[in-house]
Amino acid sequence: MTVGVLGAGQLGRMLALAGYPLGLDFLFLDREPGTPSHQVAPSLFGSFTDPALLDEIASRSEVVTFDWENVPAEALERLAQRTRIAPPPLALATAQDRLLEKELFARLKVPTNRNRAVDSLADLRRAAAEIGLPGVLKTRRLGYDGKGQQVIRGDKDIESAWQALGNSPLLYEAMVPFDYEVSAIGVRSRSGEFRMYPLNRNLHQGGILRLTRAPWKSAALEAAARRTLKRVMEHFDYVGVLAIEFFVQRGRLLANEMAPRVHNSGHWTIEGAITSQFENHLRAICGMPLGDTAARGHSGMLNLIGAMPQREWLLGQAGLHLHDYGKSPRPGRKLGHVTFVETTARAADLRANRLLRRIESL
């Protein structure tokens, strides 16, 4: 079976590496060569809306998925007429627009922070007055890893935030004084079977995920996250892996955003779970039984951002697993990640903190 993938970044690369032992083949479509996935699988290059390229990937694939959240809707519309797409295009379209995402959470009675659509400076002033300050002004589309956002701490910041982002449809959100952030990752099969990985606790720096620890033991939070994941997946008749990021505020989950694909905070599952998120995504979309999502121990995952630490030092650390995406360095770019698995949560926390300090000092 051949799996077509729109987008050929590191997520696609890890999908292919997880799929080869299952006997799967892959064909990627991305805008230009030199992608992480092109290093491990055949690829097509050109516009995501090129009819000839879309028809080719559809004719050569039994199912098409995506590793990038900004795939144009018209590409999926054309593909849907020619082959099967998973996860559902409607889930992707909802995640691409922060307003639609927040409206979905409200419709499904999923707690989230207060928000308003903003189309003018006057709208922004009204939203800030109604919801309160501080807040965050965000582009409704094409924002990720902290991009497309402006924090508004007082009235003096409103006009400058509008000048920075006002050429796009926007959303103003209340700033949440959260205690920490977690993410929940689940998988749903074509027959409706559902499984969830243990909850992850995440640390972001500069809007980019830096460190994930899993499992994050909280029976109440995990139960609430499970209910939310199942509710969202059933709403879309979802197939594949879905991640939802939450703020934790006084023991309560507030949904921040969802990702209808394999997720950075789930990279620990490659070494740290019985079945990785990448393998389970493929099992789901290809009609195979789902694998066990239980943790093998207590894991940590650290993103390598901007510059790669010395390879010899990383590989010299006992039990540390390096994943190099084969990308050229530049500030703010995810170049790879490392993972480890320990027998206790305390040992995992100590090692995560030591690694973070060491890598930041290199």
156 and 202 in a single domain? The answer is no
160 and 202 in a single domain? The answer is no
> Given this model, what pLDDT does residue 64 score?
98
Instruction: Count other C-beta atoms under 10 Å from residue 219's C-beta.
Output: 8
10 and 124 in a single domain? The answer is no
Express each pLDDT in 157-211 by its tens digit: 999 999 999 888 999 999 989 999 999 999 999 999 999 999 999 999 888 999 9
Sorted by sequence, the CB contacts under 8 Å of residue 174 that are 6+ apart come out as 113, 114, 115, 131, 132, 135
Express each pLDDT in 252-300 by its tens digit: 999 999 999 999 999 999 999 999 999 999 999 999 999 999 999 999 9
Triad 140, 69, 90: Cα angle to 5°? 80
Express each pLDDT in 216-262 by its tens digit: 989 999 999 999 999 999 999 999 999 999 999 999 999 999 999 99
Amino acid at 181: E
CA 17 to chain centre: 18
Please count the structural domains in the chain: 3
39 and 62 in a single domain? The answer is yes
Tokens of 235: 């709403």
**For the chain, what is the mean pLDDT?**
95
- 191, containing H or E segment: none
- pLDDT band of 143, cuts 50, 70, 90: low
Query: Domain residues for 147?
Result: 114-174
Give, as one character, the DSSP assignment of residue 163: H
Identify the CA nearest to 169 among candidates 142, 193, 191, 199: 142
185 and 318 in a single domain? The answer is yes
Identify the CA nearest to 159 among candidates 121, 200, 196, 111: 121
> Given this model, what pLDDT does residue 301 score?
98
158 and 187 in a single domain? The answer is no
343/351 Cα distance (integer angstroms)? 12
45/190 Cα distance (integer angstroms)? 30
266/241 Cα distance (integer angstroms)? 10
> Given this model, what pLDDT does residue 48 score?
96
| Domain harbouring 163, CATH code | 3.30.1490.20
Region 309-327 average pLDDT: 95
